[in-house]
């Protein structure tokens, strides 16, 4: 992976021509430009970018508050809640975050909301976000999500073959 992308981030997509795509959103856009059978592409990916630039910062601090002792976990959660509130208000009017169906925006943001919710599931599921909870549960319960989250065995290199002396 480091040979393909010195950034050392995941995921990394190496195309047959050697081009490397090392940003999740760019990989999603590349794939959906090839095939978009459920009409996931939308004009606006601004919420995904806001999630990556603002919400992810607070999510990481909330998840790992012990590594960020400047503030309490509750403080970090409150900062992240600004984004959750934005999503909640968006979902009052539509099924998805940027369209009246689930799209790239929903599938790009859902993993981060899921992580945030799982820091303190009781707090999240009793919080003031009924539309967001419905939206997240819909995605998490979908056959698509269940299929991609199927646990697989960790890849191991094949055992070395014993060398036969000449």
Beta bridge partners of 20: 14
Q: At 13, is the secondary structure helix, strand, or coil?
A: strand
In this predicted structure, the answer to whether residue 6 has a pLDDT above a threshold of 80 is no
Q: Write down the pTM of the prediction.
A: 0.85
Q: Which fold has domain 46-148?
A: Glutathione S-transferase Yfyf (Class Pi); Chain A, domain 2 (1.20.1050)
What are the DSSP calls for 49-109, one per residue?
HHIIIIIHHHHHHHHTGGG-TTS-HHHHHHHHHHHHHHHHHHTTT-SSSSSSS--HHHHHH
Q: Range(s) for CATH 1.20.1050.10 in the chain?
A: 46-148
Poorest-pLDDT segment among 73-87, 90-104, 119-133, 144-158: 144-158
Beta bridge partners of 14: 20
Model pLDDT for residues 95-129, shown as the tens digit of each residue: 999 989 999 999 999 999 999 999 999 999 999 99
| Residue 52: C-alpha distances to residues 68, 111, 133, 156 (Å) | 19, 11, 20, 32
CA distance 3 to 14: 11
């Amino acid at each position: 992976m480091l040979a393909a992308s010195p950034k050392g981030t995941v995921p990394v997509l190496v195309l047959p021509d050697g081009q490397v795509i090392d940003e999740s959103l760019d990989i999603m856009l590349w794939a959906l430009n090839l095939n978009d059978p459920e009409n996931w592409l939308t004009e606006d990916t601004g919420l995904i970018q806001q999630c990556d630039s603002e919400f992810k910062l607070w999510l990481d601090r909330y998840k790992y508050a012990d590594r960020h002792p400047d503030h309490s976990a509750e403080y970090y959660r409150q900062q992240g809640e600004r984004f959750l509130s934005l999503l909640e208000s968006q979902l009052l009017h539509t099924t998805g975050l940027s369209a009246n169906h689930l799209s790239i925006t929903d599938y790009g943001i859902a993993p981060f909301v899921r992580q945030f919710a799982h820091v303190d599931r009781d707090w999240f599921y009793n919080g003031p976000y009924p539309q967001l909870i419905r939206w997240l549960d819909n995605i998490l319960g979908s056959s698509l999500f269940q299929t991609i989250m199927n646990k697989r065995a960790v890849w191991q290199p094949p055992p070395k073959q014993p060398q036969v002396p000449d």
